[in-house]
Amino acid sequence: MQNLSPIQTAVDVIIPCYNVESYLRRALESVFAQTYTNFHIYAVDDGSTDNTLNILQQNAHRCSYLSQPHGGAAGARNCGIRMSNSPLIAFLDADDEWLAQKLERQVEFMTRNPDFGLVCSLCEMRPRQQDAGTVFSLPSRALSGKLFGELVRNCFVFTPAVLVRRQCLEEVGLFDESLMVCEDFHLWLRIAARWKIAILPEVLAVTHARPGSLSATISPEQRLRTGVATLEDVRARCKDLPAGDARALRRALAQRRYFYGSFLLSSGAKRRSRQSLLKAVKLQPSHVRAFAKMVLSVFPARAIRSALALIKTLRYRMPVRSVSPWAVRDSASH
């Protein structure tokens, strides 16, 4: 534990760390290399069992840090937020990195636009052992403004690419520590429900895929179930959404329910599948696929397997339709 008194700067950088001795120096150096320098780093060692804490100790002259029992990325980020006190907050996972002008570009935007609560940039997704990665395409509509409806359909906010006002977090709360994944998506939606947000159309952050990360180890069922819980909780908390945003949230939740019910059906959990698919139909009565699979769930397991195999074959024979990668991303990169 070191230097825990908040240091007043324009930006606080929150870095959760868990067994990242091979990556942490790269992340720290990418922050220290920023062209904008009025920031301070608050790193939280989340119960690491490798050399992570020693690396933080070696950098004690230029960042604040503490160590706590392992509780997950959401809890570590919340701890870092509570340690800090600056009006703008940026997040960087310890296995990712920033490009040099990340803070400069985003602080400039937030200074010019005081009515915006969050700004993000494009983020390069870099696979293991490759120098070049993939930059996903932008959302189909506006790049700034009230984007809740767009965000709930297509998650375009990556945590390492975010700069957010502390005032937003004071209004809507911090990361939900009960969520295994989607905790960041959950927070961005709560912010977007109240504030304008923006996307800068340039790559300012790089996120690296690595073995052992939560996104690489969580089971498909856990991911799908948490995705449903995320949108259900947002719906419960954000009851005063405009009609268009409420409709977009309802349809997005119906789709999540459909995906989860379809997974359960293919896994043989017919009763649970039927429950999820029924909820999808109630949310969106025009969801024909959910209704069809709900009906299918009452048949014997052998008939279900045959029907699903036929559906899969027919799908592969249909013309390929372009789908935005944002639509299937669960913001579980941590």
Specify the amino acid at residue 283.
L
State whether residue 250 is helix, strand or coil: helix
What CA–CA distance (Å, rounded) separates 187 from 170?
Answer: 12
Q: What is the pLDDT of residues 32-54, one digit of tens each?
A: 999 999 999 999 999 999 999 99
Interval 99-117: pLDDT, tens? 999 999 999 999 999 999 9
Q: How far apart are the first and last CA of the chain?
A: 24
Whole-Å CA distances, 34 to 7, 31, 77, 93, 156: 18, 5, 21, 16, 24
Torsion of CA 206, 228, 221, 134, to 10 degrees: -20
Q: Which residues of 47-74 are buried (b: 16+ CB within 10 A; e: fewer)?
A: bbeeebbebbeebeeebbbbbeeebbbb
Residues of 305-315 as b/e, b for ≥16 C-beta within 10 angstroms?
eeeeeeeeeee
Q: What is the pLDDT of residue 61?
A: 93
- CATH number of the domain at 220-298, please? 1.25.40
By CB atoms closer than 10 A (0-12, 13-18, 19+), residue 124 is buried
This prediction's pTM = 0.87
| Max CA separation in the chain (angstroms) | 66
227-260 b/e with 16+ CB inside 10 Å = b? bbbbbebbbeebeebeeebbebbbbbbbbbbbbb
Query: What CATH number is given for 11-217 in this structure?
Result: 3.90.550.10
Q: How far apart are CA 73 and CA 10, in angstroms?
A: 24
The 10s digit of each residue's pLDDT in 236-290 is 999 999 999 999 999 999 999 999 999 999 888 999 999 999 999 999 999 998 9
Instruction: Tell the residue number behind the tokens 């340039």, with chain if given.
Output: 202
pLDDT tens, position by position, 152-211: 998 999 999 999 999 999 999 999 999 989 999 999 999 999 999 999 999 999 998 766
Please name the amino acid found at residue 106. Answer: Q
Q: Is 17 in a helix, a strand, or coil? A: strand
Residue 305 is predicted with a pLDDT of 63
Distance of CA 289 to the CA centre of its chain: 27
Closest alpha carbon to 118 in 154, 74, 151, 84: 151
Domain ranges of the chain: 11-217, 220-298
